[in-house]
Structure formats: C-alpha cells, structure tokens
Amino acid sequence: MAQSFALLDWGVIAAYIVVLVAIAWASSKFKADNAKDYFLGGNSMPYWVVAVSVLATSQSAATFLGGPDQGYRGDYTYISTNVGAILAAIFVAKVLIPKYYALKATTVYELLAKRFNQNTMRAAGGMYLIG
C-alpha cells in the first residue's frame, strides 16, 4: 500500500534543510588557506561545529533509516552500538587528541610517521587499502 507524504513529512524535510543552511552559513566564515587549515579548521572552529561534524561523519543512510526502523520493530540491539561509540569518543578525546596536539599532526598517518617512522606510516596505509 503506497502512502504519500503528509504535510508534517514535508515540514520535517523543510526544517532539516533550514538547519543545514543555518549551519553552513554559520560555519562559512571559516576559510582554509592551506591543507592544515582545511583539516584542522585553523584551530578556530567552535566546539559545536566540530561536534556536529564528528556526529555527521559517523552517520550513514543505514544509521539514519535502519536504526529507527529496528527500534520501531522492537529490536533495540542497535542501541548497543552507541555504547561503543561513547567509549570510543572518550578514548579519542583523552588519549589520541592529546597525542595529535603534542606532535602537531594533522592525520593519523602523519602521527604514525612522526611517532614511529615512514615505514610504519606506509604499512598502516597499505593495511587500510587492503582491508
């Protein structure tokens, strides 16, 4: 049985677009002059922009649609992945980010090269490509 969008559905989509435009406008004043500024936001991005960016990066269509669908059907096992995500976020904030700052690294591979050597960086890159 096919159902068409109701007015409320269109309202939710419109509100979503308005929020996206507002976030884009608010963060558009931050311009990247080089690759480091692009990746690190010139170290001047507000915390809420970084937080939204991290959350958006971790989302996908499967997360956006599949998680609520599972919950609606009574299967709440998907929620357990959020526990792991919270623990991972704490680990990243407390362990990895300070190492990035200490070594002034922009990427994971740059961190590996500075902390260990170029061979370690290449090995990690190769493992990423393979698996």
Q: Which pTM does this prediction carry?
A: 0.50
Three-class SS of 60-126: CHHHHHHHHHHHHCCCCHHHHHHHHHHHHHHHHHHHHHHHHHHHCCCCHHHHHHHHCCHHHHHHHHH
pLDDT of 122 reads 95
Specify whether the CB–CB gap between 58 and 81 falls below 8 A.
no
pLDDT of the chain along its 131 residues, tens only?
567 888 999 999 999 999 999 988 887 777 778 877 777 777 777 767 777 777 778 777 777 788 888 888 888 888 787 788 788 888 888 888 888 888 888 888 998 999 899 999 999 999 999 98
pLDDT of 107 reads 84
Q: How far is CA 105 from CA 5, 12, 97, in A?
A: 47, 40, 10
